[in-house]
Amino acid sequence: MNLTLKVWRQKNAKDKGQMVEYKVTEISEHMSFLEMMDVLNEQLINSGDEPVAFDHDCREGICGMCSMYINGEAHGPDRGVTTCQLHMRMFKDGDTITIEPFRAKAFPVIKDLVVDRMSFERIQQAGGFISVNTSGNTQDANSIPISKEAADEAMDAATCIGCGACVATCKNSSAMLFVGAKVSQYALLPQGQVEATERVLNMVAQMDAEGFGNCTNTGACEVECPKGISLENIARMNREYLSASLKG
């Protein structure tokens, strides 16, 4: 495949940035999107130009680093995949592909396609830890009864990889799908009950302090989430928040 790429180039956080057009040739349909970006970067390096900066780590849908907005969609046109899992077979010869960073006030661009998602880390830090007695009297995990339904729902929530696609997709730059997933993974389990009240209050307060918008139930986040995190997690977080506020 021969492709035209329109890529967001921005030297640093203060630079205004602009779209720059590149051509790449002989792209295999079996390549991943990031491998195609590697081809572009090799080309740029060979011609003495600055390669395009983009985040990546695991390249198998686990780390949540590969944040790209491709043809107007977070992680591109496929469903249930991250950018590193997106295959070039989703495109066709002669296509023009627009590649931008995830855009949100709380995700400032650092360089080219790299954004600062420390706001997510600070929200998780605000959530704190769970109390587990490890003093030698640790209760056997198998002796704590947890319904299959709750275990499955907690596991589903825990699959959130913190990629930020939900924020980039939301017209309000809301982080509620992410925070809902992080609150839910503990709220559904007995181990998460001890700090449940302060956890949800602190995480929501940090989410607001970081400048994320509110949820208006559009549901775009759920559609674009590579892990299929359900809107039900936002509803659960809202219930947790309300009951914590009444207690607090």
For the sheet with 96-100, list strands across it. 18-24, 3-9, 96-100, 69-70, 73-74
Closer CB to ligand SF4, 126 or 166, in the complex: 166
Interaction of residue 82 with ligand FES, rule CB under 6 A: yes
The item of ligand SF4, ligand FES, none sharing an interface with residue 227, based on CB under 5 to 8 Å by kind, is ligand SF4
Partners of residue 98 on adjacent β-strands: 6
Cα(27)–Cα(54) distance, integer angstroms: 19
| Residue that is written with structure tokens 């589903």 in the block | 156
Judged by CB under 6 A, which of 27, 166, 204, 207 binds ligand SF4? 166
Neighbour tally for 221: CB within 10 Å: 25
Check residue 176 for interaction with ligand SF4 (CB under 6 A).
Answer: no
Residue spans of alpha helices (H) in 85-133: 118-127
User: Nearest distance from residue 34's CB to ligand FES, in Å?
Assistant: 7
If binding is defined by CB under 6 A, does position 68 make contact with ligand FES? no
* Residue 37 vs 170, nearer CB to ligand SF4: 170
| CB half-sphere exposure, 197, CA atoms < 13 A | 7
CB of 63 to ligand FES, least distance (A): 3
Q: How far is the CB of 25 from ligand FES (least distance, A)?
A: 25
Question: Residue 54: which of 68, 33, 71 has the closest Cα?
Answer: 68
Smallest separation (angstroms) from ligand FES to the CB of 200: 27
Which residues are at the interface with ligand SF4 (CB under 6 A)? 160-166, 177-178, 181, 225-227, 229
